[in-house]
Structure 1
Amino acid sequence: MAGEFWLSDRQWAAIEPLLPKNRPGARRVDDRRVISGIVHVLKVGCRWQDCPAVYGPPTTIYNRFHRWAARGLWQRLFAALVEVGPGDMQMIDSTTAKAHRSAAGGKGGRVRRRSAARGAAGRKIHAVVDRLGRPIAFRITPGQWGDMRAAHALIGSLPPALFMAADMAYDSDALRRFLAERGTTPVIPNNPTRKRLHPFNAKAYRQRNVIERMFGRLKDWRRIATRYDKLATNFAAAIFIAAIITWWIN
């Protein structure tokens, strides 16, 4: 069938050793086929029940995705595969994923309020990339969160880089101090309202476009460009899977 996705031998060789082994219960259906089915759904944006039969029963495809998301497995796979070391430059930014009506739950006030508490109105994807534009850290927050609210924890989870590039939304004295304490030079434009201007390396800042291209490729996955899942854990899992497939085992 045209458009089907299948893990290559190289991709499978990278993933397979990291999957759960010797779990109690019945033997799992072929992991390579099921994960290929999961990736297919996330890329093309179809409903889980419309997953092509070649991957196996749609309930198996969805249940594997959902259960492993709840256990944090996809995030651990990402962490195990990403090569993060002290680098010369990192970039931070965020993008918003709009929510499809299916992410807002059913009709009725109670269900709608519960969905809103889950952030069903939209999610914001915060990311840090290396100088090659490969994502090395993500944080998913409610859509109304500002960029600065997630920045310290996201950057602090990584080894310091020599430079951190970010747009004007990150022009904060607190963030600049935080970066300096880590030995990182901020590459952040000064807000026009600033009275005291900070040094700004415009040439280095031009490299920041790699994170914008990363977000563009990430949103080629239709279930990331538009959020269909009600659960934030499932949406985050889709982002980790996309990053693994697109940048780290390609």
Structure 2
Amino acid sequence: MEREQVWRHESGPAAAYDRIGVGYRNVRRPDPRLGALIRQALGGARTVVNVGAGAGSYEPEDAEVTAVDPSQVMLDQHPGTRKVKAGAEELPLADGSFDAAMAVLTVHHWPDPHRGLAELRRVSRRQAVFTWDPEHRPELWVVEEYLPEIRELDHARFLPVAEVAEALDAHTVLPFPIPHDFTDGFQTAHWRRPEAYLDPAVRAASSTFATLPASVVEPAMERLRADLASGAWQRRHARLLEQESVDYGYRLIVAGER
């Protein structure tokens, strides 16, 4: 077995995921439908750099993947052998050294997203970035009805999709409606499974939930618990419970070589 390689490249403050990343893989299980979309965008690339790699979700199995993440906790959960401890804004990698770069729900964590996106273009010939558009509607009900504080946090962190596409000089923007049985437990995944938000482990795998203080989150979850017990939530969202998927503004942005 190839010896695991870990390069240490200190850039910027300690990553938030050093604190919240423990147990991440138990909740954030890659969904095959999103995986198929990302694989198609990568287009058979033989060498791929995954920036903000986390635990390695959605990496193509038939490519040589280099995982980049500023969090040692997340790198320790990554199953690969090529690992780089670094921030997106200063990749210790040569120009054009990869067929493709991927970044999945990570750009909003970068201190300087535009610089990080420029780095993706520098080190690869094709880029695939999965992100969320803060300008999209409808809004997830848990934000609108229980935790509007999430809105303030997310709108401060996420770049509009149009801005990400412009920074990458993208040629394709693909919508990804979230299926009701989506397995990757990020914030919107449980839109038709409201009881999931009551689970502290589920909330801990969402950086926004994990950032908010318990004094804000716990009362909101008690209101949700009461609404579920009384049936008020079900009555309010009867039409939502009939839907198979909802477009909540998640997009895969593809740039570079076609």
What band does the TM-score fall into relative to the shorter chain? under 0.3
TM-score normalised by length of structure 1: 0.27
TM-score normalised by length of structure 2: 0.26
Q: Kindly indicate which of the two structures has a greater share of residues assigned to strand.
A: 2
Q: Kindly indicate which of the two structures has a greater share of residues assigned to helix.
A: 1
More relative contact order, 1 or 2 (CA 8 Å, 6+ apart):
1
